[in-house]
């Protein structure tokens, strides 16, 4: 009998991303990420022949190779690699041969974009103000709101600039400057202009916003967007007259749906094409192996009358199409997570990178006129999946107290036996403006393999169900969202006789960690809880988080000086005296999104009161430990979660520990 998946199987998982069809339409380049025998991440380029379906590994070594981009003539692949010690742009012949380093930036380079004639590249280079003494110990003078960032630490005066490189002469010309981040560059079809996105200046109170810029090669800049917001992924129409892009205004703060826009470059007129589409244009799916893959830009149709894009809807990330009149249709109908694509619209086909609950991620080929008949191009986890048993989720919905439909899923243990009763874990996603759905999730499969029924749900506040639903938790954290989660638990315990209602546990990270903290302050229904990278005190979060100064206002409704009582009302720390559930607190030492002091405050408050609590601090780990942290620590984290639950459930032999034999295969 096949075993269930283990925490250590993280080392065997392979992840496919960033497919790129060659100009002749005969091949597709893509990236495969793995964890090597030293438990370090590495990634390599592969090329698959679309006629033969055979893949060849194109780069080797213990490096991170990524972002393959074909030259217009298809003879060269530009890519990003850290093989020289820091990310630089490299070139490699598409017929095989040695890679040649193109850039030598002190702070690294990336995001290569070929000019239409193939003679030059735009690359993103980090430029930093010169320091008198590179290694001198000196204080950091802070004058801006945005002075730190999760995953980056304390920020200095370093900004991404766009550099033009002549491929033959290697001559470099810096095109942008100033205290702004420049990203997502795109050449116009005639090679005379570039579009790119530009962050607001550090002195701006809304420094988290970005603008879309069109720049001529002689340096004239024109701002395209007419509203304040966050804009990205510009793509030119074939005639160069239109510029499509993605973005969101901040009408509902961080709960605002993403949209697809079209700008008529000559007149400056901008139209939101998806204004009547009540779902999120973008990939809002949460998971623990897909983090960091490049998000694909919209693609113009062959006739230039519409655009293809990814949208998140009812637990799926699917390909959609929008016309210039704003009519939106869903193109892919499979229950899955499309997280990447590349299209040959002239030849009417596309290659997708897609995942499902039992497929970590692979490439699929399909005609744009008949996407239901897909052909699988890769099966990179065939060896692993042939030896383990995964669980297929069962979907259910219910109507909440506001009349919204709430979508949820159950994972049964892979060796589920009719007639047994099983403990159940409630998993709560972060965001809160994100979405559980039909994608592979190692942690959920591990909990199922450890003998737990896993309940995961999209309560109000989640993407995928319209603007009113996604903003419904704002200024009400711990209100309607809490009721939705408890309603999901009640639905399962009332309708599923295989779930033991006396054996419930709960966990979640980030917002899910906040909600875990809130739940154990409201009820003792759960026998154990694990809170991860959580929020416990909105008053301190405001000043210590890298986003606290605006996120708190958006989500809770007040700045810290406006109504501190409201911030305290929504703080789980306030409820610490009511906590009776054994609580495990997991936190990264270098988390700047939900800083570790949030976990520290909760631990001290509970410990001082003699509550059952343990605090685990993960070194050199930021907010994304579970997705891209040190592989060994990721495995440790998963083991802590399962062991905490196992240790606090009743070992009564009455079916409550029906997972005992399965759990023996875990470690």
Question: In the prediction, which pLDDT does 131 show?
Answer: 55
Report residues of the chain scoring pLDDT below 70. Answer: 129-135, 201-207, 650-667
318-331 confidence digits (pLDDT tens): 999 999 999 999 99
Question: In the prediction, which pLDDT does 96 show?
Answer: 84
Neighbours of 579 (CB within 10 A): 23
Q: Is the dihedral of CA 466, 467, 472, 473 positive or negative?
A: positive
Question: In the prediction, which pLDDT does 206 show?
Answer: 66
Q: Which of 510, 534, 536, 621 is catalytic?
A: 510
Q: Helix/strand/coil (H, E, C) string of 236-300?
A: ECCCCCEEEEEEEECCCHHHCCCEEEEEECCCCEEEECCCCCCCEECCCECCCCCCCCCCCCCEE
Q: Catalytic annotation on 510? A: yes
Q: What is the C-alpha separation between 5 and 8, in angstroms, rounded? A: 8
Question: In the prediction, which pLDDT does 179 show?
Answer: 86
Q: Which of 242, 442, 570, 623 is catalytic?
A: 623
CB 34 within 8 A of CB 14: yes
Going by C-alpha positions, the residue among 159, 151, 160, 147 that lies closest to residue 110 is 160
Residue ranges per domain, the chain? 391-536+571-663
**What architecture (CATH level 2) is domain 391-536+571-663?**
3-Layer(aba) Sandwich (3.40)
Going by C-alpha positions, the residue among 335, 311, 290 that lies closest to residue 441 is 290
Question: In the prediction, which pLDDT does 253 show?
Answer: 93
Which letter does DSSP use for residue 64 in this model?
B
Question: In the prediction, which pLDDT does 140 show?
Answer: 87
380-395 confidence digits (pLDDT tens): 999 999 999 999 999 9
Radius of gyration of the chain (CA): 25
CB 328 within 8 A of CB 258: no
Which letter does DSSP use for residue 2 in this model?
P
Q: What is the C-alpha separation between 461 and 477, in angstroms, rounded? A: 9
Question: In the prediction, which pLDDT does 268 show?
Answer: 87
């Amino acid at each position: 009998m096949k075993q269930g998946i283990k925490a250590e199987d993280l080392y065997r998982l392979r992840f496919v991303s960033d497919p790129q069809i060659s100009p002749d339409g005969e091949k597709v380049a893509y990236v495969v990420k793995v964890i090597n025998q030293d438990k370090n991440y590495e990634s390599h380029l592969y090329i698959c022949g679309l006629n033969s379906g055979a893949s060849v590994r194109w780069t080797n070594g213990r490096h991170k190779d990524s972002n393959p981009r074909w030259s217009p003539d298809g003879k060269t692949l530009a890519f990003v690699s850290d093989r020289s010690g820091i990310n630089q742009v490299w070139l490699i012949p598409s017929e095989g041969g040695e890679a040649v380093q193109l850039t030598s930036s002190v702070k690294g380079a990336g995001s290569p974009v070929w000019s239409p004639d193939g003679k030059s590249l735009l690359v993103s280079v980090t430029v930093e103000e010169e320091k008198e003494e590179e290694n001198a110990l000196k204080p950091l003078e802070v004058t801006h709101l945005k002075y730190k960032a999760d995953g980056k630490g304390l920020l200095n005066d370093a900004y991404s600039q766009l550099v033009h490189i002549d491929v033959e002469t290697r001559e470099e010309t810096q095109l942008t400057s100033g205290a702004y981040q420049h990203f997502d560059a795109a050449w116009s079809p005639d090679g005379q202009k570039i579009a790119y996105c530009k962050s607001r200046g550090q002195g701006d109170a809304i420094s988290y916003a970005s603008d879309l810029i069109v720049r001529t090669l002689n340096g004239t800049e024109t701002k395209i967007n007419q509203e304040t917001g966050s804009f990205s992924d510009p793509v030119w129409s074939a005639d160069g007259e239109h510029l499509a892009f993605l973005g969101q205004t901040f009408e509902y703060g961080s709960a605002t749906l993403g949209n697809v826009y079209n700008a008529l470059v000559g007149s400056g007129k901008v139209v939101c094409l998806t204004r009547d589409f009540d779902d999120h244009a973008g990939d809002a799916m949460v998971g623990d192996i897909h983090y960091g893959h490049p998000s694909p830009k919209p693609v113009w149709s062959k006739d230039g009358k519409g655009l293809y894009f990814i949208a998140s809807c009812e637990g799926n990330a699917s390909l959609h199409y929008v016309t210039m009149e704003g009519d939106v249709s869903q193109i892919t109908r499979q229950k899955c997570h499309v997280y990447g694509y590349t299209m040959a619209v002239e030849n009417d086909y596309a290659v997708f990178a897609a995942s499902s609950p039992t497929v970590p991620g692979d490439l699929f080929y399909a005609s744009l006129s008949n996407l239901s008949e897909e052909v699988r191009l890769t099966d990179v986890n065939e060896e692993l999946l042939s030896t383990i048993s995964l669980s297929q989720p069962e979907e259910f919905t219910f109507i909440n107290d506001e009349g919204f439909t709430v979508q949820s899923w159950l994972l049964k243990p892979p060796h589920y036996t009719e007639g047994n009763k099983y403990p159940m874990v409630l998993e709560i996603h972060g965001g809160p403006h994100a979405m559980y759905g039909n994608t592979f999730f190692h942690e959920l499969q591990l909990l199922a393999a450890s003998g737990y029924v896993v309940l995961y749900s999209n309560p109000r506040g989640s993407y995928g169900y319209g603007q009113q639903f996604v903003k419904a938790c704002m200024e009400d954290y711990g209100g309607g969202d809490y009721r939705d989660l408890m309603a999901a638990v009640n639905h399962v315990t009332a309708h599923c006789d295989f779930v033991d209602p006396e054996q419930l546990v709960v966990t979640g990270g980030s917002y899910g960690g906040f909600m875990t903290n809130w739940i154990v302050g409201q009820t003792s229904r759960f026998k154990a809880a694990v809170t991860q990278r959580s929020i416990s005190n909105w008053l301190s979060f405001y000043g210590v988080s890298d986003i606290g100064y605006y996120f708190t206002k958006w989500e809770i409704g007040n700045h810290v000086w406006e109504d501190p009582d409201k911030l305290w009302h929504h703080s789980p720390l306030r409820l610490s005296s009511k906590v009776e559930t054994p609580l495990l607190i997991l936190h990264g030492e270098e988390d700047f999104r939900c800083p570790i002091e949030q976990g520290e405050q909760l631990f001290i408050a509970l410990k001082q009161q003699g509550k059952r609590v343990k605090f685990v601090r993960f070194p050199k780990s930021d907010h994304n430990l579970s997705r891209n942290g040190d592989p060994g620590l990721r495995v440790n984290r998963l083991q802590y979660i399962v062991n905490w639950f196992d240790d606090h459930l009743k070992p009564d032999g009455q079916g409550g520990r029906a997972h005992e034999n399965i759990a023996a295969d875990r470690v």
